[in-house]
Structures are given as structure tokens and as C-alpha cells.
Amino acid sequence: MYASLKWLGDYVDIIPKHHELADKLTMAGMEVKAIQTIGSNWNDVVVGHVTAVTPHPNADKLHLVTVNLGSQQITVVCGAPNIRVGQKVPFAKTGAKLIDGHTGKIALLKPARIRGILSEGMVCSEKELGISENHDNILVLSSEAPIGMPLDDYMGDVIFDLDVTPNRPDCLSMIGIAREIAALTGKPLHLPQICYEEAEKAISQFISVDIIEPVLCPRYCASLITGVKVAPSPGWLQQYLRSYGMRPINNVVDISNYVMLEYGQPLHTFDYHKLNDKQIIIRRAKDGEIIVSLDEIKRTLTQNNLIIVDMKKPVAIAGLMGGFDTGVTSTTTAILVESANFNRGAIRRSAEQLNLQSEASIRFGKGLNPDLPPIALKRATQLLLQLTGGKAAEGIIDIYPGKTAPHAILLSSKEVKRLSGLKVNINEILRILNTLGFECQKTDSVPAGISVLAPYWRSDIKCAADLAEEVIRIIGYDKIPITRLSASLPPQKFTPQRSLKQKLRNTLIGWGFQEILTYSLTSLEKLQKLSSKSKLRIDPLQIANPMTKKQEYLRTTLRAGLLTAMANNQKHEETGIRLFEIGKIFLPQHSTAIRKNQNLETGEKELPQEKEMLCIAFGGSQGDLSWRDDRKSFDFFDAKGVVEGLLKQLGLVSVFEPCDDEGLLLGKSANVILDGDKAGVVGNLHPRVAQAFELSDTICLIEMDLDKLMSKTNMAKRYQPIPQFPSITRDIALVIDRQVAFQQVENIIQGFPLVKKATLFDVYTGKQIPEGKKSFAIRIIYQSAKRTLTEKQIDKIQQQMLNKLHRELGTTLRD
Amino acid sequence: MIKSLEKLRLEALAELEQVSELKELESWRVRCTGKKSKLTQALRSLASLPLDERRKIGSLANEIKVDLELRMDEKKKFLEEEHMASFLKQEGLDITLPGKLMPTGRLHPVTQALDEICSIFTRMGFQIAEGPDVEWDYYNFEALNIPPEHPARDMFATFWVDSKETGESARLLRTHTSPMQIRIMEKEQPPIRVLVPGRTYRYEATDATHESMFYQVEGLAIDTNITMADLKGTLFEFCHCLFGEERKVRFRCDYFPFVEPGVEVAVECLNCHGKGCRLCGYSGWLEILGAGMVHPNVLKRVAIDPEKYTGFAFGMGVERIPMLCYGIDDIRLFYNNDIRFLKQF
């Protein structure tokens, strides 16, 4: 909301220090986002009167313009097409600092010879004065502008750009803001005196009004003015509208806009003679009903639109915009002024459906008070009589089916203290609320309390907490004391999930993995790239109103985001990339559960299951380009090692089983099994998926279910004593069929007593090894917790072991 | 005899002086103190001397031998050090060659900010709780005193899963972490002191200062006798922990439908220290938090008696904090996941 301090000055004395005023408003809840000063740099710019315009002798598009400045006459060259004799214009003398119309920079005005004619001074455009971007035309001032007056004195101003919160529609008006300023600065408020003469013929003889939808239209007021002469508005009115950023149109339209900005009540003016059968009805539109609105757009209406109709057709969309056919034109002589109250919800729905936001719909949509329409109506009528020369019919139409009784709120000094921590005397509370327009009465129903009635413009005030805020915001939030919470501390809880996540994150970054966070929303296209099948395994939850196709579905996997980030980074990284994300995936549930307090039938929608996952992707060379490193690429066993390392950190041991994950390469991927339960997968990304995401290199992928990790993590770790007795180490080299998995060998070895550890340190195929066979070199460490082992004992065990390996797996010792 | 011994000593020391390598030192030893050296011979010839002379010369010869051996050890030590120095000079490393880097990953700057925020509030006794990203209209709006068509809904442009016409049983992506206030208060009785970090979503076109997804941290404290002064103390302490003890903090009136009175907390601009600059929109202040006393309607909704209990709630955007601290001018950088950006934190 733009507010001109000059305009506000009509209602309240404005303190001269604008920044102080802005601070007060900001602290009290109405933030001043920006302050614009108009005219502070207009030295040597004055009001001039154009007395002659003749063609430039040497240029078709230029004129020689003679301007009377009061004390002198000056002739200058001017190129503006809208210059006319008789206009009042802003005239800059040489030495003035103006904004250059072409470069936009501030430049000093110097005498200049333009096509052979000396020009000392300039008639200015709005852009040159820094008011707007308009540089095509010169700014034409009101005919009342005093010749020779410095322009700053005539139209200088300070404009506050205010952030009005949704609870304060009353402050979408000059008077609303002036009330705040009055309360904050202790200055008196001056409201316009409204009185005017009425003609004898009663308004009821001109028009009748019928509200069919009293819930949607709690009040409808109207006045009628005949003998109207439509003409341009006076300068002060034009200037006020401009200060808000509105273009002046004509006196009738300008007055309705002016009163809307002054009181916050939108008005509409009909050309009375264009209304059929002198009847106004407020009803819902029928589906398919059509109106051409003031902006000349044909709009098709539905039952969601509240409309104003005459006996034949819609004449306005209630609260949004009037109809084109019944609008005021230059030939209008009689007008019907509408000042009504509409239900905020109805107006919001209607505006949203028609995609028609206007100054009116913004105000109605925030909820206005039904006490306001007659006040604004009378103010508009008064101004219309003053400025259009018309006569008002006797009385106004005032249909008010939605009248409600005001309700009193009790407030005590104790309650203010209970909420704010600030001790405020009841008399001080009373004084503050009075300055804000509240009616207060001392009451016996609460100790040291008052009974408060909110003024009509404060529909937002409903309970004692609202009143407490009013009191302390006027005193100032900076007066609230600073204390530390003294309330009792609730019992602290066990949150292992958080520690688990922290442990995983810290381990991974220690290994050089970079954490990333990707969007929860993704596209169907991306999810499909992960799968070989045309149908997705899990149907993702769709957003009803996505912003873009790229973010239309809730992710059912972290893979898509991670692989996209991988591909983007591969474009500029020349070494290997290691990324991970810990985040939620969203799995739709079609549960039959019945929600608390709701009779949702079976099969009804449910919130999706939100499951926390860890996903890791890495690929490329292991080390950075360096004089020291060999630059081996990551492979499956690096990925498996990451899983094993993470699980070790958590005190877990897993089994790896072949998997058929459709995104991973068969034979180079595995399910991670914890206690017989699948907790994740690890493997090389399927080349088809890699290609779809435009990835190069072999990509290793790991996906783990955090809930599974959580449930398997053994919180009660037990200490193992450090071995007291020496160990004995034996290396063996086994030759074995290629199909035999190492796991089978390892299981047999580990099954023997005293085997502390078996480490595979070489896998070999090739020379010296028969076709179809491979060789495993394994170091076995034997140790007892009870005694020193003898070579003899170990020889015996190892022989049994070799026999068993031979018997069950067909192994032989390598020569 | 004495003279010739003294001469031997002088000759030997003069030769030792000339020795410049460890190998030569050994031959010097053999020559000057070895079995066949003149000195040893002189000692052997002692037997033929009279007793008192033998004693005198013997002790001198011994003294010379000990002296020479001592000098030799010194020389040896000296030569060894010299040798090592010259060896290192040839064989030492170019220590300006780059070291072998240990792999370094980083936590995402948003995770780092979340960890910092959570750690400050957990020290004040707040407990961390998390809630669903996909919410019912009821929790996101209705129960928070924002009924359908309330003008405050304009503050929360929403991604809907179901049509919003469905009312309070429409599903949506939560627009703030505040729904957890309701979920927590439904389950627990005061005293309550929780902190809710999480993802939130707004139906907004993205640009340098707007994202459709961002993180928030919500705080809630309910008990008897909690006032705005406690809120002020808690949040001022938080701002001082995060931005430094000297940082000025501002507490002003603002509006959020689920609190009353409502508060906005701003800190003195980190860039201009309150003088006014582009970062702070020339106001000198950076808005950090929205807060207020929990609205009595919200308490009534979860059957907590507003006559008996009061409480405060606050919420803050997380990305804004690293943006302000590190001078990041585009919020989109956080979720583009370019490691050239992420590695900087």
C-alpha cells in the first residue's frame, strides 16, 4: 500500500522526521518497506504556463515553446507531441538536475543549441522528474497550478510503501493509516466533515434494490446523483491518485477511487440511464451467464460469481468489476453510486475463478465491515456534488440484512501481563485503546478489568489476546522485558534415529562423500528413466497444481535426484564424484485405516508413507589428479566396501545376495541382508539408466532403508576382551571351480574352532591354473582366548579344514 | 722420552685436524692409537724403564691415549653429522610438492545450519521432533486458525495433492512446519518444549530469493506462566548464539494467524551493521524469525485450556541463515547441488 504523507496530512499532523515515523509504524506492525521522496532534487524546476507553440524552422518534429514563468518568459525547443498552448507544465531552468531521458542518469541541464536554435531550459517529462518511466510526453499539470511556483512546493511528496498484514484491511486506506499514526504519535485525528444538500425527490422513486443472497451480500447502499457533468478532476485529486500510482480518468471515476483509497471501501458508479427498469438485484450468476466487464473482456460466469443485475442482464461482478455497458462515460448525466459489503470468501472464490484481481477484490477479499458502506457512500456523494455539479436524490438506499450485534471483550491488566510479561496499569490500557477508537468501560466482572467494544473498522479484534497486542504494540515491543524460560523442563526423549543419521553423515563425509539435498518433487519422466518397464513399480503421488512438469510428482526414490546431480557435476568435474543424500521418499498408501474423528470409508485417501532413505552414488577415478595417485576407477567392490564400512560403524554385519534390481546391473549388484531382512541394495548402475541420465563412467549406487538399519542396530554393544595369547598365521592357496562363491569357502573356514579371522588377499585366474578354475589366497589367523596354541594343534585343524573344503567344494591346494 | 710423547700427541692432533672423512678417521686411529702405533709402542717399551720414570711416562702416555680417543670421538660425531647433512642435502624432499589429500566431503550448508540451530535450542531444553511433509489441510490451516477463504491463506501459496475444495481432508505439501504444533499438542500435555526442523513447500515461481522448497525450524513451548518476555529472551539468546553477542536484535509486532500477539524478529544487518545497504533493503535489519504467543483458538482446538496455559511458537527459514552469513545471493544454489558451490562450506 502506497501512502502519500501529503495526503495523510489531511487527517493527522505528520511529524517531520519521516524515518522516525516509518520506524514507529514498522515496530507497531505495519512495516514501511521503502520510502520514496518526490521532488527533493527539483531545484530550479517551476510551474510554467505555455503561451505559444510554433514549429521549429529546421525540424519537423520539434516545436518552439514559449513559457511564462511569472517573472519571465522563455522560449525553448521541445519535442513532446502533447505540448499545447494554455497548458501548465513543469519547467526546468538551466542549472536544474534532471534525469536524462535516455541514459537514466542524473545530469545538469545546460544551455544547448538544438538544430540551430538556442534553448535555455526544458519542459519536463515524468521520467526527467523521476516520477515514472514515461518519457514520450511532457507532464501536464492541473490548470490551477500557480505560475512560477517551485514544483517541489506544488507537488513534492514523500511516499511510504507499507506492508499491510492480512488482518488489517482497514489500513488499506489513508484514514486507516492516519488512525495508526495518530495513536502512535499522540496527535489528534481529523476526519472529513460529511454533509451535503439533497433534492426533494426520494431515491426510492429512482431505483429499488433486492438482495437475493443476504449471506454473500450483508449490506447494499446506493445514492443517486443527477445533472452530473463528466470532466477532468481538479489537480489535487489527480495528484493524490497519482501518488498511489493510479491514472486519473474523470471526476466521477476519480472520486470513486479516491474514496476507496480514503476509507478503504470500494465503490462502483453506474450510468443510471443505462440500467434497465430501475431495478438492482444481487444474486449468484447462472452457469454460462455472460458479462462484458469494464476492461472490455467478455467473461463467462458460474454460480460461484456473485453478480449485480438489472431487470435484463448482469451489470457488475460483485466486488470485482463493473460491466462495460453500464459504465460511466463522458456523456453520462446521472449516476448510481454503489457502496456495498460482500462476503470475503465469495469475493475470493469469484476473483480466483475469473482470475480478476482488482483494488476492489483485494479489499473485499480481506473482509470489510458492513458499517463502512454508508459512510463512504456519503463521502463520495458529497464530493460528486462538489465536483460534478450534480444534485443528490433525497436519502440513500440502505438494505442491511446481515446486521450483527457487537460483542464486548473483557480485558484486565492481569491478562496483559500474563501474555506479554509487561505490567500495564488499567488506566493506561484504557487510554491506549481509546486512542485506537475502542470503546471501553470499567467492569466489575473481572478484577481491575474493562469491557471493550471494538470500533467497526477493526473486524480483526475478537479476543483478549487481540486487545493485549493492541496495547503492547502501541507501548512498543521494545518495552517488553527479556526473561529466560523458567517453566519446568519436559522429560527428554531417546532419539536414536537422529544419532543414526548423524553417524552415517559424518562417516560418509569423512570418506570424501559430499552431502546433497535434492527436491522432493520430481517428474514422471525422470522416474521412468530409472526403470526398464513402462509401468512404474510404485505409482507416485501427483500434485494437483504443479508449478512445472519437472516437479509434478513426489519422489518414490532418491535415485533420480542423485543421478541428476551426478550428471550435472560430471559436466565440470574431472575427478571422481561421490555424492549422498539422506531424505524422505513418499510411498502412497491405500490403507483402510479410519482417521480419528472422521468417518472416512475404506479405500479413502491416506497420507503417503514417508520413509527415510540413504542413497549414495559415486563413480569415476578414486583419487584426484595428482603426482602421487594411481587413478583407478571405482568399481563394485568399492561400493560393497562402503556398505560394509557403514554397517561396521553401526555394529552390524550383513550378507550380500544377488539381486534383480531393475536399475542395477545383473551380476554386479547385491541385496544387503541384515538378519534375513533386505535393508538395501548395492551395485553398478545399469548402463541403460546411466545413458538415460547422460552419465559417463561406471556409477556405483547404494540405497539403504534407514528404518531397517535403525531396527537392526544393536544399541547394547558388549565389550570383547583383548586377546592375551599369541596368534598363529597360516596362508593357504586354494584352486576351485569358478562358479563357487567365496562366501561358501569362507563359511566353511569360519566354521572351524579357533579361526579368528580369514582374509582373502588374492584372486587369480590364468597361467598355472586349469581352465574353469580360479585360485583364492587366504590368510587364516588362529587364536585362543584361553591358551597359547601349538603348531601341532593348528596343523590338525587346518588339515580337517582342507579336507572339508575338498569334500564339499572340490578345492585342491595350489602347488 | 716425555718430549717425544708430547711430539707424538701434537703430530696426531695435527693429523686429526686434517681428517675429513669417516674412512680416514679409522686409518688415523690405527696409525695413532692402534696396536702398531708409536704411542702403543712407547707404552710397551715402558717395561725397560726404571720404576719412577715408568710411572711418570706411563701416566703421561695413558693420558695422551685417552685424550686422543676423546678427540677422535668428537671428530667422529662431527663427521657423522656432516655426512648426514650432506646426505640429506642430496636425498631430501622437495617439500613444496603437493601433499596427498585425504578425501574430504562436506555436509550440505543447510544441514550445517540445521545442526547449528538444533544444537542451540536443544541446549535450552527443546526436544527435536519431525513430522510429515504431506499434510492434511486440517493441520496445515484449519487447526492453526486459518479456515478456508481466510485472507491469511494468501500468505501461504500451496501445492495441493487433492483439490482444495475437499476442505480440511484435502492433502497438501505443508507450507510451514507449524502443523507439528497441532500434532504435538494433540498427543502431549504441557509442559511442552519442542523444535521441529523440516522441509516446507510454497507454490511460488523460483528466482534468486524464492524457492518452491525450503527448510524451516519451528519451536513451541507451552506451560503455565510463559510470557512474551520469555519468548523475547529465548529468541534474543538464540540470535546472540548464532550471530554473536554484540549483534543487535529487534522485536516488532507482526501478524501470523496462529499466534496473538504476533512478533517478527530481525537482527542488525550482517553486511552494513545497521547503516543500511542493499542486502537489508536499506532498513539496517534482516528479518530472521516469525513468532508469537500461541493463539487461544489453537490451544482450544487441541483441548489445552488457554485460561490456564500460555505458550509461544516461532518459525524460521533455514536457507536464509547461510545466505546472510556467507553472502549467498541466490537461493537456487542450495538445490542445484553443484559441488563447486557445496565444497565451499
Q: Which residues of B touch A418 (CB under 8 A)?
A: 225, 227, 310
The minimum CA-CA distance between A663 and chain B, rounded to whole Å, is 22
pLDDT (tens digit per residue) in A386-430: 999 999 999 999 999 988 888 999 999 999 999 999 999 999 999
Instruction: Give the CATH number of domain A2-39+159-185; options: 3.90.1580.10, 3.30.43.10, 2.30.30.90, 3.30.56.10.
Output: 3.30.56.10
B338 and B197, same domain (yes or no): yes
**What's the CATH fold of domain A198-399?**
Phenylalanyl-tRNA Synthetase; Chain B, domain 3 (3.50.40)
Q: How many CB atoms are closer than 10 A to CB B41?
A: 11
Residue B287 maps to which CATH number? 3.30.930.10
- Which residue among B173, B237, B261 places its CB closest to the CB of A465? B261
Count of structural domains within chain B: 2
In-domain check, residue B104: no
Contact: B255, A463; criterion CB under 8 Å: no
- Which residue among A344, A477, A486 places its CB closest to the CB of B263? A477
Residue A505: per-residue pLDDT: 97
Q: Which residues of B touch A595 (CB under 8 A)?
A: 169
Q: Indicate if the pLDDT at residue A531 is higher than 70.
A: yes
Q: Which residues of A touch B95 (CB under 8 A)?
A: none
The predicted complex's ipTM stands at 0.87
Q: What is the dihedral of CA A282, A284, A290, A292, to 10 degrees?
A: 50
pLDDT (tens digit per residue) in B304-316: 999 999 999 999 9
Residue A601: per-residue pLDDT: 41
B87 and B115, same domain (yes or no): no
Residue B241: per-residue pLDDT: 95
Q: Which residues of A touch B304 (CB under 8 A)?
A: none
**What's the CATH fold of domain A496-712?**
BirA Bifunctional Protein; domain 2 (3.30.930)
**With 0-12 CB in 10 A as exposed, 13-18 as middle and 19+ as buried, what is A197?**
exposed
B131 and B222, same domain (yes or no): yes
Question: How far, in Å, CA of A50 to CA of A653, rounded?
Answer: 94
Residue type, A522: T
B86 and B169, same domain (yes or no): no
**Where is A685: in which H helix or E strand?**
strand A677-685
Interface of B with A in 174-233 (CB under 8 A): 188, 191-193, 199, 201, 203-205, 212-213, 221, 223-230, 232-233
B183 and B66, same domain (yes or no): no
Nearest to B310 by CA among B319, B328, B321, B298: B298
User: Which architecture, in CATH terms, is A409-479?
Assistant: 2-Layer Sandwich (3.30)
Q: Indicate if the pLDDT at residue A281 is higher than 90.
A: yes
B71 and B123, same domain (yes or no): no
Residue A604 pLDDT level (bands cut at 50, 70, 90): low
pLDDT (tens digit per residue) in A646-685: 999 998 889 999 998 999 999 999 999 999 999 999 999 9
DSSP A688: H
Q: Indicate if the pLDDT at residue A86 is higher than 60.
A: yes
- Which residue among A465, A477, A516 places its CB closest to the CB of B253? A477
Residue A337's alpha-carbon distances to A195, A253, A376, A569, in angstroms, are 17, 11, 10, 64
Residue B4 pLDDT level (bands cut at 50, 70, 90): confident
Question: How far, in Å, CA of B115 to CA of A627, rounded?
Answer: 37
Among B61, B91, B121, residue at a domain's last position: B91
The minimum CA-CA distance between B10 and chain A, rounded to whole Å, is 56
Interface of B with A in 34-73 (CB under 8 A): none
B42 and B166, same domain (yes or no): no
**Where is A34: in which H helix or E strand?**
strand A31-38
Residue B8 pLDDT level (bands cut at 50, 70, 90): confident
Q: Indicate if the pLDDT at residue A592 is higher than 60.
A: no
Contact: A490, B127; criterion CB under 8 Å: yes
Among B41, B64, B91, residue at a domain's last position: B91
Question: How far, in Å, CA of A243 to CA of A177, rounded?
Answer: 15
- Give the pairing of strands A609-619 and A112-114: unpaired
In-domain check, residue B150: yes
B72 and B125, same domain (yes or no): no
Q: How many CB atoms are closer than 10 A to CB B228?
A: 27
- Which residue among A348, A546, A608 places its CB closest to the CB of B149? A348
Residue A166 pLDDT level (bands cut at 50, 70, 90): very high
**Chain A CA closest to residue B276:** A34
Nearest to A83 by CA among A109, A106, A58, A64: A64
B73 and B115, same domain (yes or no): no
Question: How far, in Å, CA of A363 to CA of A361, rounded?
Answer: 5
Q: How many CB atoms are closer than 10 A to CB B273?
A: 14
Instruction: Give the CATH number of domain A45-155; options: 3.40.640.10, 2.40.50.140, 1.10.10.10, 3.40.50.1370.
Output: 2.40.50.140
Determine what percent of chain A is predicted with pLDDT higher than 90: 76
Q: Indicate if the pLDDT at residue A504 is higher than 70.
A: yes
Interface-testing mutation among B112, B115, B159, with chain A (most A C-beta atoms within 10 A):
B159
Q: Indicate if the pLDDT at residue A603 is higher than 60.
A: no
A409-479 matches A2-39+159-185 in CATH topology: yes
Any idea which residue has 467494544 for its cell?
A: A453
Q: Indicate if the pLDDT at residue A534 is higher than 80.
A: no
Alpha carbon B331 to chain centroid, angstroms: 23
3-state SS of B82-134 is: HHHHHHHHHHCCCCCCCCCCCCCCCCCHHHHHHHHHHHHHHHCCCEECCCCCE
Contacts of A301 (CB under 8 A, 6+ apart): A285, A286, A287, A288, A289, A290, A291, A307, A314, A317, A354
**Where is A66: in which H helix or E strand?**
strand A63-68
Q: Indicate if the pLDDT at residue A632 is higher than 70.
A: yes
Judged by DSSP in three states, A201 sits in strand
Residue A715 pLDDT level (bands cut at 50, 70, 90): low
Q: Indicate if the pLDDT at residue B18 is higher than 60.
A: yes
Domain containing B251 equals 110-342
pLDDT (tens digit per residue) in A607-624: 999 999 999 999 998 887
B44 and B143, same domain (yes or no): no
- Which residue among B227, B237, B282 places its CB closest to the CB of A420? B227
Any idea which residue has 466482572 for its cell?
A: A445
Q: Which residues of A touch B120 (CB under 8 A)?
A: none
B329 and B237, same domain (yes or no): yes
Contact: A421, B227; criterion CB under 8 Å: yes
Better-predicted residue by pLDDT, A447 or A110: A110
Among B64, B91, B118, residue at a domain's last position: B91
Per CATH, the number for A728-813 is: 3.30.70.380
pLDDT (tens digit per residue) in B171-204: 999 999 999 999 999 999 999 999 999 999 999 9
Contact: A516, B106; criterion CB under 8 Å: no
Mean pLDDT confidence for A528-553: 90
pLDDT (tens digit per residue) in B221-238: 999 999 999 999 999 999
Judged by DSSP in three states, A194 sits in coil
B121 and B63, same domain (yes or no): no
**Chain A CA closest to residue B254:** A29
Question: How far, in Å, CA of A107 to CA of B64, rounded?
Answer: 101
**Where is B222: in which H helix or E strand?**
strand B213-223
Q: Which of A267-276, A770-779, B158-167, B260-269 has the lowest mean pLDDT?
A: B158-167
What is the domain partition of chain A in residue ranges?
2-39+159-185, 45-155, 198-399, 409-479, 496-712, 728-813
Q: Which three cell numbers stand for residue A245?
A: 500510482
- Which residue among B111, B205, B252 places its CB closest to the CB of A547? B205
> Average model confidence (pLDDT) for chain A?
92
Determine what percent of chain A is predicted with pLDDT higher than 70: 98
Length of chain A: 815
In-domain check, residue B10: yes
